A and B are shown apart, each in its own frame.
Chain A
């Protein structure tokens, strides 16, 4: 067995920034206690923002509005293309416009419970408070949310809640919110307050005298590797779901920025908390390059079922009503088809494992709109979900108005990420992580329509307030230049890594390694995990890594547009991150949210938490490639929402 599993335990990690006192006063208190930077002094400070999704785009725009000099990066050709754009369903906010009993406290409660009691209460409460401001901000920017005939905003329901608090723009909410942030950012670019570097990828972090002072990045067009310096660095580079190769992430979404930051001292928290989304289009073959999500909003009106009989191969419309098992409605009568994602995914896996799955390979369940079409009429269904139905038809060549959709769970989101305190600062002073890149708000399972909320809360409201405090306390940092020995060292390491990738000249493509790693992770660190399986994966990953460096083939040179080199370089980091994910999953010998350990389940097969042993966030410290990391626990305290066995029955 590899030595990697013998991790050591270090000092607990403390969130020193979270104020005490009544929870609804904490954010106000923190904002008041945080120091400010005089407007005239702000332009003397440079802040680097990596990523232009909802978190990065909104942060860059807001920091620039405040007067900071922002230097921003994205690997895409335009900041408008960040993968937040693909979010379909909506954004939660405790507006209570429906008068259906919603409140900030209820959104807070639902999110802590939905996250299976593995998130920090203070952060979640702040998120719920800010949610209402986000909607105001986005409307002011001209985001065209869906409206009712009276001209007011429409809402719908998402999983894990019993109110209607999800604001949406047809099936393209992420696109519309992102374009709002992108437009705000564009205004600042035009004003000269943001220096935008598209097609530029962060490859490493520069830490000088214990503080984050810049990044190393590669211009993806010319291949030039350069350094950029600042007084603080903000990572908004998204999640790491692409470790699994097949996921709903964009093809180029990657973990390099967060992983390199981790290697430079930022703790990585709860890496095993990955979200498997229940409603994705099943894969069709080995050529599959990505999986496509069908929005959770479809579960408002679609009914999920499989045949009652094993191996029933009849066409769905030939299976009579009494031979169908609407298993979510049966097992969870009060939430029905709108149970949280982790529960819906696991239930789908269970019925497929029983041999009742449908479609090729039995890896699918039906999502049926026949009842909804009968009740509301085809036109109403089309108005609500038209673009999703079109997308489904394009991909599968089946008409979901006539035949039920086939869906299956797929990797979608990562709740884990860089450990941050209440100020969203990592364990490296001056390094902040926002949006999906951090671990902070969703615990072990994220509720639908909460990612957009968190990304925008972090970028528009939280970070712009908290980063002031850091900059005010560190007003005169020594300027760093490219000649600094630390910078030279980081630059040389990056150059060496790129050159090594180009020089191996082996016989396997980057994609072949990525697929191999992804399949291994899906099998052993996917929807259900076991001690034995995780140990097997931990045995295998170093072997793949060794083979990678022996057999990788990257064509071309480093001084040009080279997409194979980009891929290979990202896989280097996946091969290390995957190992930490498996170790985290192995050490957490309980089930919670999206992390399901087969050894830890209730008699009826639900996730059984073990709060006494695992009621903490696991923050890992890097000690070297393939060397056992150090675990730092952050104990989670629940003062307002008492942890119980989650029940959606």
Chain B
């Protein structure tokens, strides 16, 4: 099929950006969206133009590197990552808008590539269990109810892609932060740091310049891993509990 692409081009963080229009032909419906961009880039290189920069790595929906807003939707029309979106979701002759994640806390580095290091700093603030190597008790010493283990896993599935932030009208990172808080706080291993974890991670999230949450729910709709919106409710509950307990001390 033949497509018209309108792509955000921005030379670097300081340069102004604009949409540029390109035509691509011979696109097969079996191609992934990123393979379609590969075709465009091969074309651009040969015609002496700068290829479009975009983040990608595993191309199997798990590393969380790819990050495109396609026709206004984070990761495009299907509920998956951009790398797992296939061209069969589009029709011959379509015009497709491709933009980077748009959020104050995710500055553009080049074209479609943004800086998501704010996410790393949120994890650094408390998204871990303090368990130095070698200090672990026997794995079966603490059974974990299956329901809790499954709950933890469902939140631990977050790939840190940032689609939740890109989709949120406020540019909030609540779903990302709550996924990690819920994953660790439900487990017995995470219990000792339960309060400091949620308080510190939320404080860091605010410090990074993410917007406030108004529970519009766009984040959970865009999440390729299906982290549920109630995750945010869960974190709010954890935060209130922690704030009250810390205030009491």
* Chain A contact residues, CB within 8 Å of chain B: 58, 61-62, 65, 76-81, 83, 85-86, 95, 97, 133, 135-137, 139-142, 144-153, 169-170, 172, 175-176, 179, 182-184, 186-187, 189-190, 198, 221, 248, 250-253, 284-285, 287-290, 292-293, 391, 394-395, 397, 460-461, 464, 507, 509, 511-512, 553, 555-556, 560-561, 563-564
Q: Which of B35, B61, B113 contacts A288 (CB 8 A)?
A: B35
A152 touches B143 (CB 8 A): yes
Give the residues from 163 to 185 in chain B that come closer than 8 angstroms, CB to CB, to chain A. Answer: 183-184
In the bound complex, CA of A512 to CA of B8 (Å): 26
Residue of B nearest to A143 (CB): B156
Inter-chain contacts of A250 with B (CB < 8 A): 57-59, 63
- Contacting pair B63 A81 (CB below 8 A): yes
CA–CA, A398 and B30, complex, Å: 12
* Given A172-B62, A251-B56, A553-B45, A289 and B50 contact (CB-CB distance below 8 Å): no
Q: Which 4 A-B pairs have the closest CB atoms?
A: A151-B143, A183-B128, A140-B136, A190-B124
Q: Give a binary string over B33-68; 1 marks a CB under 8 Å from any A CB, 0 the rest.
A: 011001100101110111101011111111111000
Most buried by B among A147, A153, A464: A147
- Please tell me if the beta carbons of B133 and A176 are within 8 angstroms of each other in the complex: no
Query: Which of B12, B46, B133, B144 gathers the greatest number of chain A CB atoms within 10 Å?
Result: B133
Chain B residues positioned under 8 Å from A184 (CB to CB): 128, 131, 133
Q: Which chain A residues border B60 with CB–CB below 8 Å?
A: 86, 248, 290, 292-293, 391
B residues less than 8 Å from A78 (CB atoms): 116-117, 119-120, 160
> CB of B123 within 8 A of chain A?
yes
Nearest to B36 among chain A residues (CB) is: A287
Most chain B beta-carbon neighbours within 10 Å: one of A152, A394, A460, A507: A394
Tell whether, in the assembled complex, residue B110 and residue A561 are in contact, meaning their CB atoms are under 8 Å apart. Answer: yes
The docked-state distance in angstroms from the alpha carbon of A79 to that of B157 is 16
* Chain B residues whose C-beta falls within 8 Å of the C-beta of A394 in the assembled complex: 61, 78, 80, 84, 86
Decide: A136 and B139 in contact? CB cutoff 8 A: yes
Asked whether, in the complex, the Cβ of A285 is within 8 Å of the Cβ of B28, the reply is yes
Contact B138 A136 (CB under 8 A): yes
Distance in Å from the Cβ of B211 to the closest Cβ of chain A? 21
Interface residues of B in 130-169 (CB under 8 A from A): 130-140, 142-146, 149-150, 152-153, 156-157, 159-160
Task: Report how far A285 CA is from B87 CA in the complex, Å.
Answer: 14
- Which residues on A sit within 8 Å (CB–CB) of B80? 394
A560–B110 CA distance with the chains assembled, in angstroms: 9
Pairs A–B under 8 Å by Cβ, sample size 6: A78-B117, A136-B138, A152-B140, A182-B123, A190-B125, A289-B59
Chain B contact residues (Cβ within 8 angstroms of A): what range? Answer: 35 or more
Among the interface residues B65, B120, B125, B139, which one has the most CB atoms of the partner chain A within 10 A? B139
CB < 8 Å neighbour of A553 from B12, B46, B56, B131: B46
Instruction: Give B20-39 as 1s and 0s: 1 = Cβ < 8 Å from A's Cβ atoms.
Output: 00000000101110110011
**Which A residue sits closest to B128, measured CB to CB?**
A183
Query: Which A residue sits closest to B29, measured CB to CB?
Result: A397
Majority secondary structure, B binding face: loop
B129 at the interface (CB under 8 A from A): yes
Nearest Cβ in chain B — how far from A361, in angstroms?
A: 13
B127 on the A face (CB < 8 A): yes
> Which residues of chain A come closer than 8 Å to B48, judged between CB atoms?
555
Instruction: Give chain A nearest CB distance to B24 CB in angstroms.
Output: 11
B127 A81 Cβ-Cβ under 8 A: no
Decide yes or no: A561 and B160 within 8 Å by CB, A86-B62, A184-B128 being known contacts: no
Whether A141 lies near B129 (C-beta < 8 A) is yes
Nearest chain-A residue to B129 (Cβ)? A142
CA distance A394 to B53 in the complex (A): 25
Q: How far is the CA of A564 from the CA of B116 in the complex (A)?
A: 22
CA gap between A582 and B35 in the complex, in Å: 29
Instruction: Decide: A187 near B128, CB < 8 A? Known: A139-B189, A507-B46.
Output: yes
Give Cα A177–Cα B76 distance, bound, in whole angstroms: 29
User: How many Å lie between the Cα of A141 and that of B42 in the bound state?
Assistant: 44
A353–chain B nearest beta-carbon distance, Å: 25
Q: Are B49 and A555 in contact (CB under 8 A)?
A: yes
CA distance A584 to B12 in the complex (A): 44
List, in ascending order, chain A residues with CB within 8 A of B38's CB.
Answer: 287, 289, 511
Q: Which residue of B lies closest to A171 (CB)?
A: B62
The docked-state distance in angstroms from the alpha carbon of A561 to that of B157 is 30
Which residues of chain B (97-120) have a CB below 8 Å from chain A? 109-110, 113, 115-117, 119-120
Given contacts A81-B65, A186-B128, contact A555 B51 (CB under 8 A): yes
Contact (A251, B59) CB under 8 Å given A186-B127, A509-B45, A509-B46: yes
Q: Which residue of A lies closest to B39 (CB)?
A: A287
Q: CB-nearest residue of chain A relative to B88?
A: A397
Complex CA distance for A289 and B86, rounded to whole angstroms: 13
Bound-state CA distance A394–B144 (Å) is 33
Q: A250-B63, A251-B57 are in contact. Are A147 and B144 (CB under 8 A)?
A: yes
Does B96 reach chain A (CB closer than 8 Å)?
Answer: no
Does B242 sit within 8 A of A, measured CB to CB? Answer: no
Q: A85-B63, A509-B42, A560-B12 are in contact. Are A139 and B136 (CB under 8 A)?
A: yes
Interface contact B116-A141, CB-CB below 8 Å? no
A289 and B127 contacting across the interface, CB-CB below 8 Å: no
Please indicate the chain B residues that have their CB under 8 angstroms from the CB of A511 in the complex: 38, 42
Known A394-B86, A509-B42: A287·B131 in contact at CB below 8 Å: no
Instruction: Give complex CA distance A484, B38 in Å.
Output: 42
- Which of chain B's residues have a CB closer than 8 A to the CB of A135? 139
Given the known A-B contacts A76-B65, A78-B116, are A563 and B53 also in contact in the complex, defined by CB atoms under 8 Å? yes
CA distance A460 to B135 in the complex (A): 11
Q: Please report the C-alpha to C-alpha distance between residue A81 and residue B145 in the assembled complex, in whole angstroms.
A: 29
Q: A75 → chain B, closest Cβ, in Å?
A: 9
